[in-house]
Amino acid sequence: MTKVRFAPSPTGKLHVGNVRTALFNYLFARQAGGIFVLRIDDTDVERSTQEYEDGIRTDLTWLGLKWDETFKQSDRFERYAAAAEELKAKGLLYACYETGDELERKRRLQMANGRPPVYDRAALELTDEDKAKLEAEGRKPHWRFKLSGNPVQWEDMVRGPVSIETSSLSDPILIREDGSYLYTLPSVCDDIDAEITHIIRGEDHTTNSGAQIEIFEALGGKAPVFGHQALLVGADGGKLSKRLGSLSMQDLRESEGYEAMAVNSLLGRIGTSDPVEPFHALEALMEGFALSKLTRSPARFDEEELARLNAKILHETEYATVEARLGEMDAAAGEAFWAAVRPNLERLRDAKDWAALVNGPVTPVIEADDADFITAAAEALPEGELTEASWGEWTNALKSSTGRKGKGLFMPLRHALTGQPRGPEMAVLLPLIGREEVLARLQRGAA
């Protein structure tokens, strides 16, 4: 059974980079009929908050990325402690007493001498007496995992054959001086216990994976299959990190008003060999998804492209899909209204402005030279209930009687009836406004 996990930390809001990883894991699992796990990585108890955790769940639900299982790392500290003791007993987790400043001085000296800044394992030379003396001085150890020094190789689902020379890496710190855990040990324990079969994440974890594979093996587990996708960059190819705060799901949803499937459509296709196009459902996006289509080049995230996708999705959306949401924003003016305005929408919230335009009140905009024309237009308005055919009948009659044509004919009418220079087709707006209100607006404009 294919089983994947998305493991966000509740120390901030989900942004586009996080969600792209979540989306890939979700699509991969669903294609295989597998399980999608949401793991909350809250071992950083000082920075993790319930508010951020709730926000993560809200964002994933909005996007349609429904998880099958979920758990929190903060409920599993006893498991991590047991794993640490197991590694200590095997001589693979050892105490180190250097301060941050001391380690930094070592790194600078190594680089000055042309050597790679790899931890020198000086702590392995400490005797019990040395350790007791350091602890008597008030020092507390941090704990490093002892790498084998051998190459670690795997077939990456995105990058192909990968080999990491662990001899070129510093032994990773698994436990801090205060006893708190860094990401690596809890993550490996969780992946073993949850029986995760595949790990899909950003390429910035590639080197870490080499060390983690050795920890999997040291704890008697089998390393999952890895896939490391290229990271996101801005539309200009520059770093996106400085903008990630403004590209959170909460902001894209609430402040910017984007549709969830616009976000999914863009993140699911950028950085692949497939063209970016709008999808209305995750199932349709899933049909063409394959990790083998991911390129090694960074994926370019362009918010202008997101806006275009959002508009296209709305232009193709049926009324029943948005009826409830239109009602929530006081824009429920019926299916005919939706058909009239959706070609002009960039965000769904724009429908509220068009509903106000239909329902009124509207302040007509009339140029002095057009006042007599608007008076004549009111007198020429077709009798009876207005239909979409009424606009053509009306404007043809005015063209014959006044000699006006083109913009000189149409624009004064649009300005008088909507107060706007552009918008939905007047032929469909006219019956929505209704004959009585059309006459009232024309008469106010000509007054």
Burial class of residue 345 in the structure, from the number of CB atoms within 10 Å of its CB (0-12 exposed, 13-18 middle, 19+ buried): buried
Q: How far is it, in rounded angstroms, from Cα 434 to Cα 11?
A: 53
Q: How far is it, in rounded angstroms, from Cα 401 to Cα 61?
A: 59
pLDDT at site 243: 67
CATH class (in words) of the domain with range 360-446? mainly alpha
pLDDT at site 242: 60
List the structure tokens of 86.
Answer: 């197991």
* Residues near 48 by beta carbon (within 8 Å), at least 6 away in sequence: 9, 10, 11, 42, 74
Q: How far is it, in rounded angstroms, from Cα 88 to Cα 9?
A: 27
Q: Is it true that 1-72+230-316 and 360-446 share their CATH fold? A: no
pLDDT block averages, 10 residues each, the chain of length 447: 97 95 98 98 95 98 98 98 98 97 95 94 97 96 98 97 96 97 97 98 96 98 97 87 79 96 98 96 96 94 97 97 90 84 95 89 89 94 95 96 95 94 93 94 84
Q: How far is it, in rounded angstroms, from Cα 62 to Cα 133?
A: 56
202 CA to centre of own chain: 14
DSSP string, 360-372: S-------GGGHH
Which DSSP letter does residue 243 get?
G
User: What number of residues does the chain have?
Assistant: 447
- Positive or negative, the CA dihedral 401, 404, 405, 407 is negative
Q: How far is it, in rounded angstroms, from Cα 419 to Cα 349?
A: 19
Strands (E), 176-308: 198-202, 225-229, 232-234, 299-301
Tell the residue number behind the tokens 């960059």, with chain if given: 233
Q: How far is it, in rounded angstroms, from Cα 300 to Cα 176?
A: 36
The region that residue 91 occupies, defined by phi over 0 for left and psi between -120 and 50 for alpha, beta otherwise, is left
The percent helix, strand, coil of the chain (3-state, each to 5) is 55, 15, 35
Among the listed residues 432, 440, 373, 434, the one whose alpha carbon sits nearest the alpha carbon of residue 401: 373
Identify any residues that bridge with 96 across adjacent strands, giving them in sequence order: 142
CATH tag for 1-72+230-316 (out of 3.60.20.10, 3.40.50.620, 3.50.50.100, 3.30.1950.10): 3.40.50.620
For residue 156, give the H/E element and its range. Answer: strand 151-156
Q: Where are the domains of the chain?
A: 1-72+230-316, 319-358, 360-446
